[in-house]
Chain A
Amino acid sequence: MDITEYAKEVLRIEAESILALIKRIGPEFEKAVNMILSSRGRVILTGMGKSGLIGRKISATLNSTGTPSIFLHPAEAIHGDLGMVTIDDIVIAISNGGRTVEINRLLPILKDIGVKIIAFTGDISSPMAKMSDIVINVGVEREACPMGLAPTASTTAALAMGDALAVALIHCRRFTKDDFKKFHPGGSLGERLSSRVKDIMLTGNRVPIVSIGSNIKDALEEINKKGIGATLVVGEDQRLIGIICDGDIRRAIVRYGDIQNMKVEDIMTPSPKVVDEDQSAGEALSLMEFYGITHLVILDEKGGVKGIIHLHDILGREEFKINAGIFPTKGFDS
């Protein structure tokens, strides 16, 4: 068989593997879509090796189509990354054989947390399938790689099923072209997420700052003037000591009534979360998601304020507007 014929055969095998999925779209798939739709958390993809790469792509597709998603490396998960998983999240675990050790070690822990699990597997009687709430069969009849050395048709099938899920969610959420634009400001959300914090943070006069001892009125004026819904509080030595955001003010009014004459240190949140200016915007976004906040501060080497970054700076200040129907409102208010 010559090279071009061989290549054509590979494509035929992979095409057939996708076609075979059509008749497997049924109640389990619908249950998976409904589970994600009714979830208040994120969709967490996990998988090892090439299945992991497929998981990353599915996660990216979900993010760009309005379903908040992250990738969790199974090995890193049990070394601390599990902290990013919450009870509201849904995990999609990908393993063709359903016997990947790292995944099967992770799933019981996720179940203990209370997370719902969707399995993408080619073996519906595998240990992974048995531990899952919903099993989507992505099995293939034939692999295209000689000796089955590398998964080919099976990873293609998993990827295609992931796309089917993302697109089904788009339709269920009535995701529109305008919504898509919101998640693709400047042409590519991915490009924005890969930029450095220092490239998009606010610096100099654009950073809202008040000194300790200032009254609340000064803080409110600074918040209104700089327009990012918060102000930083610095000490006499200009070192960062706190942050006041809209949420702090709201809570203070509820608690104390008239706060006009109170001092900023009375209502501020001390020790605001910081991010390094060389970290990526994507990492900053993950931190915001993890802590449920919308601002991160960038410090200089002496602990002074160098800049501030808001969620809108990451997702696109002009284009981004929170759409309650698409993005979870929970967790975005510090």
Chain B
Amino acid sequence: MQEYFPPKGLIVDLITPLNDDLSFAKNDFLNHIQRIRPYVDGIMILSPDTGEGFEFSSEEKKEIIGTCIEYIKSQFPIFICITGDTEEETKENMVVFDSILKKLLYDKSKINIFWVDIPLYYHSNRGLPDMYKTLCSLTNYPLLIYNYPGIVDKVKGPFNRRNIRTSVLKELSLIEHIVGLIFKGDLRRALNYQSAIRIRSNFILYDSDENLFLNFPNKNGLVSVSANLIPKVWKEMLYKNNDDSSNLEHIWDKGNMLVKLSDIIKEAPCIIIKELLNREGLLHSNRCRFKGSISQQTIEEVENIISHL
């Protein structure tokens, strides 16, 4: 396999804009990418929470991926969530998505595609390395594992473990196609994982918990949800100049506001973000496939924080 290095820095866990009839809103999607692109180092599409990945049919996913690839071509890293309800469905997603890429990507030397999978959503820790050896042989693209206990919690099934076992992660990090981990969880586990993956020098660990990132900044990067709203602010946080002491108070204040913002948004990321972007006129619709609503007070609270950022 060609050696792939996932991008360091800010990755946005992208929302998937919809029309009022809940169909994919292609233009809004492209406008949204265009708006955030100058500030970020990559995008992640079809994630389960923010990107509503589990809510789309295979055909819809193909359309979303195709739209994204056609627009971005090979010039910007794209993380594509492939997780299905079962191991077979995940494999199928991977193969189907791969066929779209083959059709659309004209410059294979600049391929910037990374599969993202949440293995514990459909599989136990036991046998995970073997499963991935098979999965990774299906395509030639690198893969990032997503440790996402919150989403695993939602699954009814025989799986007791919400997190990838550290010893299993160590084995997974030895598989050449697996190039990194997106991590949601507490600091203790993050440190254990860091220690486990140290065997591979180019294996990257991203935080996807914004508060963990703000409190104990990860030097590899962040997969951010609220960067859908405020990509420029997040870019400033990641690439701040600590040599300028006059800037430190400003960073401290911003950081604390981002902590508050993340705490609110993580309750219903997709719904809140779409509502706010819709109010700003950046999306034509605030519709989500997820059922649920948020209070006016919550929206005003978020708007108030953003106005101070």
Contacts and interface: CB of A to CB of B under 8 A. Distances in A.
Contacts of B243: 48-49, 100-101
A13 B198 CA distance: 14
B194 A20 contact: yes
A147 B214 CA distance: 5
B217 interface: yes
Contact of B216 (A13, A23, A122, A150): A13
Contacts of B237: 147
Given A19-B195, A20-B194, A23-B201, A147 B252 contact: yes
Contact of A149 (B195, B198, B220, B248): B248
29 contacts: A12-B187, A12-B188, A13-B191, A13-B216, A16-B191, A16-B194, A23-B199, A23-B201, A48-B243, A49-B243, A100-B243, A122-B219, A139-B219, A141-B205, A141-B218, A141-B219, A142-B191, A142-B216, A146-B214, A146-B215, A146-B252, A147-B214, A147-B237, A147-B252, A147-B254, A147-B255, A148-B242, A149-B251, A149-B252
Nearest to A146: B215
Contacts of A150: 242
Interface residues of B, number: 26
B296 to A, nearest CB: 31
3 tightest Cβ-Cβ pairs between the two chains A and B: A147-B255, A148-B217, A143-B217
B242 A149 contact: yes
Interface residues of A, number: 26
Contacts, number: 65
Interface in B179-219: 187-188, 190-191, 194-195, 198-199, 201, 205, 214-219
Contacts of A139: 219
B260 interface: no
Interface in B214-238: 214-220, 237
Interface string A1-25: 0000000010011001001100110
A52 to B, nearest CB: 11
Contacts of B201: 23-24
Interface of A: 9, 12-13, 16, 19-20, 23-24, 48-49, 100-101, 122, 139-151
B219 A12 contact: no
Contact of B198 (A23, A101, A122): A23
B173 to A, nearest CB: 13
B251 A143 contact: no
B220 A151 contact: no
Given A122-B219, A148-B240, A149-B242, 8 more contacts: A12-B191, A23-B199, A23-B201, A142-B218, A142-B219, A143-B216, A143-B217, A146-B215
